[in-house]
Amino acid sequence: MEKLNATISELGNEWEMMKSENMVILFNEDSPQELRDISVVHDGAVSEIVEAGDVMELGDESYDILFVGGKANETLRELGHATFQFNGQSDSDLPGTICLEKKEIPSLEIGQKVIIKSN
Protein backbone atom coordinates (compact mmCIF):
# COMPACT_ATOMS: atom_id res chain seq x y z
CA MET A 1 0.00 0.00 0.00
CA GLU A 2 1.33 3.45 -0.92
CA LYS A 3 1.46 5.88 1.99
CA LEU A 4 2.99 8.77 0.02
CA ASN A 5 3.05 9.23 -3.74
CA ALA A 6 4.55 12.60 -4.52
CA THR A 7 6.22 14.33 -7.44
CA ILE A 8 9.22 16.59 -6.89
CA SER A 9 8.24 20.11 -7.96
CA GLU A 10 11.29 22.07 -6.78
CA LEU A 11 14.86 21.42 -5.63
CA GLY A 12 16.26 24.04 -3.28
CA ASN A 13 19.58 25.67 -4.16
CA GLU A 14 21.25 24.00 -1.18
CA TRP A 15 19.60 20.58 -1.25
CA GLU A 16 22.84 19.06 -2.58
CA MET A 17 24.59 20.27 0.60
CA MET A 18 22.03 18.34 2.65
CA LYS A 19 22.57 15.32 0.38
CA SER A 20 26.30 15.46 1.16
CA GLU A 21 25.27 15.14 4.85
CA ASN A 22 23.21 12.02 3.96
CA MET A 23 19.93 13.91 4.40
CA VAL A 24 16.90 14.78 2.34
CA ILE A 25 14.49 17.34 3.76
CA LEU A 26 11.01 17.08 2.27
CA PHE A 27 8.41 19.84 2.37
CA ASN A 28 5.17 20.21 0.44
CA GLU A 29 4.48 23.19 -1.80
CA ASP A 30 3.07 25.21 1.13
CA SER A 31 6.49 25.32 2.82
CA PRO A 32 7.91 28.65 3.97
CA GLN A 33 10.22 30.29 1.45
CA GLU A 34 13.10 30.43 3.95
CA LEU A 35 13.13 26.59 4.12
CA ARG A 36 12.92 25.93 0.38
CA ASP A 37 16.65 26.44 -0.23
CA ILE A 38 17.54 23.27 1.69
CA SER A 39 14.44 21.29 0.72
CA VAL A 40 13.09 18.89 -1.84
CA VAL A 41 9.61 20.33 -2.45
CA HIS A 42 6.83 17.96 -3.50
CA ASP A 43 3.12 17.94 -4.31
CA GLY A 44 2.08 14.90 -2.27
CA ALA A 45 0.26 14.13 0.94
CA VAL A 46 0.66 11.22 3.34
CA SER A 47 -2.37 8.92 3.40
CA GLU A 48 -1.27 6.43 6.09
CA ILE A 49 1.07 6.34 9.09
CA VAL A 50 4.70 5.79 8.07
CA GLU A 51 6.41 3.08 10.13
CA ALA A 52 9.73 1.33 10.48
CA GLY A 53 9.71 -1.50 7.96
CA ASP A 54 8.19 0.64 5.20
CA VAL A 55 10.17 1.41 2.04
CA MET A 56 10.99 4.79 0.48
CA GLU A 57 11.63 5.04 -3.24
CA LEU A 58 13.63 7.97 -4.64
CA GLY A 59 14.12 7.79 -8.37
CA ASP A 60 15.25 4.23 -9.13
CA GLU A 61 16.52 3.50 -5.61
CA SER A 62 14.68 1.88 -2.67
CA TYR A 63 15.54 2.40 0.99
CA ASP A 64 14.30 0.51 4.05
CA ILE A 65 12.88 2.78 6.74
CA LEU A 66 14.52 1.86 10.05
CA PHE A 67 13.08 4.47 12.44
CA VAL A 68 10.28 7.05 12.48
CA GLY A 69 10.50 9.86 15.05
CA GLY A 70 7.53 10.63 17.29
CA LYS A 71 6.60 13.84 15.42
CA ALA A 72 7.45 12.73 11.87
CA ASN A 73 3.96 11.52 10.93
CA GLU A 74 2.39 14.70 12.29
CA THR A 75 4.71 16.97 10.29
CA LEU A 76 4.33 14.80 7.19
CA ARG A 77 0.55 15.13 7.46
CA GLU A 78 0.54 18.88 8.19
CA LEU A 79 3.47 20.17 6.10
CA GLY A 80 4.55 17.25 3.94
CA HIS A 81 7.73 17.57 5.97
CA ALA A 82 10.27 15.20 7.44
CA THR A 83 14.02 15.00 7.58
CA PHE A 84 15.19 11.73 6.07
CA GLN A 85 18.60 10.61 7.30
CA PHE A 86 20.28 7.89 5.27
CA ASN A 87 22.50 6.85 8.17
CA GLY A 88 21.60 3.23 8.94
CA GLN A 89 20.49 4.17 12.48
CA SER A 90 17.45 2.79 14.26
CA ASP A 91 16.91 5.80 16.50
CA SER A 92 17.31 9.58 16.62
CA ASP A 93 17.00 12.31 19.23
CA LEU A 94 15.18 14.50 16.69
CA PRO A 95 11.43 13.76 16.73
CA GLY A 96 10.80 14.81 13.10
CA THR A 97 13.45 12.49 11.70
CA ILE A 98 13.02 9.32 9.68
CA CYS A 99 16.13 7.11 9.49
CA LEU A 100 16.79 4.88 6.51
CA GLU A 101 19.41 2.36 5.55
CA LYS A 102 22.79 3.82 4.74
CA LYS A 103 22.98 3.96 0.96
CA GLU A 104 23.94 6.68 -1.48
CA ILE A 105 21.19 9.18 -2.25
CA PRO A 106 20.57 9.43 -6.00
CA SER A 107 20.60 12.63 -8.01
CA LEU A 108 17.10 14.02 -7.97
CA GLU A 109 15.23 15.95 -10.64
CA ILE A 110 11.99 17.88 -10.88
CA GLY A 111 9.26 15.48 -11.96
CA GLN A 112 10.73 12.43 -10.18
CA LYS A 113 8.58 10.46 -7.78
CA VAL A 114 8.99 10.09 -4.03
CA ILE A 115 7.07 7.07 -2.80
CA ILE A 116 6.69 5.56 0.65
CA LYS A 117 4.93 2.21 0.84
CA SER A 118 4.39 -0.76 3.05
CA ASN A 119 6.93 -3.47 2.57
**Residue 119, pLDDT above cutoff 90:** no
d(CA 22, CA 29): 23
pTM of the model: 0.95
pLDDT at 20 (0 to 100) = 96
pLDDT digits (tens, 9 = 90+) for 53-101: 999 999 889 999 999 999 999 999 999 999 999 999 999 999 999 999 9
**Fold adopted by 2-117:** M1 Pyruvate Kinase; Domain 3 (2.40.33)
The Cα angle at residue 109 between residues 104 and 110, in degrees rounded to 5: 145
Q: How would you classify the pairing of strands 40-42 and 61-68?
A: unpaired
Taking the C-alpha atoms of residue 104 and residue 102, their distance in angstroms, rounded to an integer, is 7
pLDDT of residue 107: 93
Q: What percent of the chain has pLDDT over 90?
A: 93
